[in-house]
Structure 1
């Protein structure tokens, strides 16, 4: 099915009753919903609850009569009598959100859907919405950082030039304005919003602009309010360094199992010495895999659920053996295309268009050297800064402010992706109450028993404070 055929099939009248007539401000049109499994290639055919449609929005919200683009929207109707709508965004930035209602409906937060329609959407430039068709960059291994940054800049510029107007429009503020167009098209005066990771910045931006249209907002794993790639790299490096300390402490408490040291300091020294040894003298595993200092680095600041496996692997390395980091796979599906086909470029655009992150490699290299000096284990991990080198558009800062609608922030005390201090930085700008989850898992609220707090929040508008137990450390 071609993209044009797909959009036409969603907009032409079919034997599906539309949800509701949109108000005049949305053009007086009706939405036509069809089962996502019928219009989306590779959609889970067992999912007969999810319905899909498209909403046309202005490319430039300052020129509402100009070019329009399509936003893909999904919905699962409330189990009981619907008392409102909750819209979800999984973050990224650049991650599609059309499957998030189905994910929530299968999670511990499924109770939100008892009294609310669950709505997801793919932001502009992402997934099934209108995108800049940009293949992922092919990166040669072993390139020096400066050369890699130069090639990334060339790749990004080539993609940007495929549709400069759309690429330049990929900002958090524009996505927030798109979201309000979706609200209008749904025919509702107010929405609830549940955002994770970058979705928290999107939510905060929407609430700043359209507070009167918010029933309640829950933001889980809160992004730095500056949205600067420098701040992201710094924060994640600091959190990764602390994760390494906690990992070493955990291994030391199990010295009889792993034999890597009986104190936190002893384990830390042993692992860093092992990294230095393998940097100088790499080993080759029977399958040809090279095991070097990078292999060790990639095992030192990982989620707690991986600690037992990683500690065992590090023990093998410390005893002179070989092991490798297991490679993960990130699968996806789309309507008539791969829904993740352009997400890397969309993520770069949404970050670089929205923050004054460095555009020159000299600044990036200086910041990285300073970061490695401060955080010798994790300082070299993050690489967001490099992605804005040579970016052709000036930054458009996101404005965050306070509102009157209920706001629940959820921070994860040990998380390295969106470190816990960012939650309180955002709270200082926008207000709200903070629920602290005692885990290191990114956006994990919906998978925990205390997901019931999210159900209560959207049902009553009452925020919570205090703590929530995460998954136990193995």
Structure 2
């Protein structure tokens, strides 16, 4: 009953609350009293990067009430070491999510650049409001992702279970966090970025963002164009598409990437023995999933078991990073040819096992569910998603249930959707987009270029990484470096200013599990800088 009351009372207030977050003057850069705190830096005690400094910044829950309730944003920085005359100010960094931590980024990204460029910036990472090391750390249901979860496929009779689960999650968030949830939108996070700028004492900032970070950056540029010096957006969310429609595009692109994986594995039949055509490889995938419905396997050291839902989650990340393909093919090969579940167990623990709580999921829902007018009728979802699933069965129902809490979310946006991006007053923005990106499909890069006059779009034709910088592609990375060095942009005109080649597919390799692996052996999760890691996960 407490949850129902919270949902009803929150729903009555949503118009005023979300209206405050979503509206903005054409240029919100005029001096205002934000009621924010100060940055007091101290060592992060990071032995790998001793120069890294950390701080907490007080910001208002609601920027319309700057002297009201406060929360804290965790911020870190790697200070510039170049002479003062050569320094270029702070560059704020965001990897996506919504809700992913950016604290790993200052050390990593500065380390990818020549010293003469990296040393000229103050590299600034932060945890978005309500997430990770920021305070409070929002948790709606710490066990939401525990396995074994209901089957994603609607044909398995689990729709009622998922609807109950999704509605319960929305109710949990509203019951415990109704004071904060309406204020965790992209606009709120963009205003936090400007609070960081003010606390740094910088008249302008630079920005690099990937995935949802491109929405965050473009929103900041719309709100505060006069405070932008340089901006780089990598793997771009289209500026006008609704989040529901964006998910449909993802479903179709993930199917294309899964088909590409199957074709790649089929060419390596001598390694994986899954068949010599893509259809045979996809049949093996379906065979394993069907078997796990009756015979789920132990997920140790993660809690619970690996059933069909956990199996699907282990594989969808291949659409973000094809360096996972050899391990994915090994999982299928080991299971089908030897009924060896060890590679599946390892891959699940690396790629898909839940953390200690629901992670960035509250922030994900708070942004996406609030910023668009989502369909509220399950009958509409069922019919519409069935049409998508008919041509894109790999990911459609997985993605649908991941986003199903938006059906019940009490803080929904209006039909106008997300903030309109015009680029008015912005300096030239540098855009990067791969044509085969499954998470932020290619159309988004084109649409953002069209929305930002003066922007330059760099396209990796045939590329499929999600967030395409820093994978060793000199054509891409050098363009980024030149822009940060002195503002140089690609010279090409037209819609696409520069085209870069894709990386080669990975070499087919059977990823043999360690011989001493036992059911209690801990599997270390991938670090954000691991080649197989997925950044900027925008489901």
TM-score by length of 1: 0.80
Residue deviations 1:223-255 (CA, integer Å, cap 9, x gap): 243464422331221112111221222233234
Q: Against the structure 1 CA distance between its residues 405 and 340, is the aligned structure 2 distance closer, same or farther, given a 3 Å change threshold? A: farther
Q: Against the structure 1 CA distance between its residues 174 and 76, is the aligned structure 2 distance closer, same or farther, given a 3 Å change threshold? A: same
Equivalent of 1:434 in 450, 453, 457:
457
Report the Cα distance in structure 2 between the residues aligned to 1:392 and 1:469, rounded to whole angstroms.
Answer: 43
Report the Cα distance in structure 1 between the residues aligned to 2:119 and 2:232, rounded to whole angstroms.
Answer: 17
1:445 aligns with 2:469: yes
1:457 aligns with 2:483: yes
CA contact (8 A) 2:204 2:227 kept: yes
CA contact (8 A) 1:237 1:375 kept: yes
Equivalent of 2:434 in 402, 406, 412:
412
Equivalent of 2:385 in 368, 387, 393:
368
* Deviation of 1:267 (Å): 4.6
* Deviation of 1:265 (Å): 4.8
**Is 154-163 or 106-115 further displaced after alignment?**
106-115
* Deviation of 1:203 (Å): 0.3
Report the Cα distance in structure 1 between the residues aligned to 2:311 and 2:37, rounded to whole angstroms.
Answer: 56
Q: How does 1:297-316 map to 2 (within 5 A)?
A: 302=318, 303-316=321-334
1:387 aligns with 2:392: no
Q: Against the structure 1 CA distance between its residues 284 and 138, is the aligned structure 2 distance closer, same or farther, given a 3 Å change threshold? A: closer
Equivalent of 1:271 in 267, 284, 300:
284
Residue deviations 1:419-451 (CA, integer Å, cap 9, x gap): 223222322223422222353222241342432
TM-score by length of 2: 0.72
* Deviation of 1:66 (Å): 3.0
Report the Cα distance in structure 2 between the residues aligned to 1:276 and 1:76, rounded to whole angstroms.
Answer: 45
Report the Cα distance in structure 2 between the residues aligned to 1:228 and 1:282, rounded to whole angstroms.
Answer: 39
CA contact (8 A) 1:361 1:386 kept: no
Match of 2:41 in 1: 34
1:194 aligns with 2:208: yes
Equivalent of 1:100 in 99, 105, 116:
105
* Deviation of 1:394 (Å): 2.4
Report the Cα distance in structure 1 between the residues aligned to 2:49 and 2:208, rounded to whole angstroms.
Answer: 22
In structure 2, stretches of 5+ residues that fail to align are 1-29, 151-157, 491-497, 508-539
Q: Against the structure 1 CA distance between its residues 367 and 79, is the aligned structure 2 distance closer, same or farther, given a 3 Å change threshold? A: farther
Q: Secondary structure at the match of 1:441?
A: coil
**Is 369-378 or 271-280 further displaced after alignment?**
271-280
Q: How does 1:50-449 map to 2 (within 5 A)?
A: 50-81=52-83, 82-108=87-113, 112-131=117-136, 133-139=138-144, 141-143=148-150, 144-226=158-240, 228-265=242-279, 267-268=281-282, 270-271=283-284, 274=287, 278=291, 302=318, 303-319=321-337, 321-323=339-341, 324=344, 326-329=347-350, 343-382=360-399, 383-395=401-413, 397-403=418-424, 404-431=426-453, 432-437=455-460, 438-449=462-473
Q: Against the structure 1 CA distance between its residues 275 and 405, is the aligned structure 2 distance closer, same or farther, given a 3 Å change threshold? A: same
Report the Cα distance in structure 1 between the residues aligned to 2:184 and 2:55, rounded to whole angstroms.
Answer: 21
In structure 1, stretches of 5+ residues that fail to align are 1-22, 38-42, 332-337
CA contact (8 A) 2:93 2:106 kept: yes
Residue deviations 1:15-73 (CA, integer Å, cap 9, x gap): xxxxxxxx985689994533342xxxxx6334321112233333222233333332222
Report the Cα distance in structure 1 between the residues aligned to 2:267 and 2:172, rounded to whole angstroms.
Answer: 52
Q: Say how many residue pairs are matched.
A: 440
Residue deviations 1:377-434 (CA, integer Å, cap 9, x gap): 3333313431212111121632222233121111123222222232223222234222
Residue deviations 1:310-342 (CA, integer Å, cap 9, x gap): 3344234444634335223589xxxxxx99875
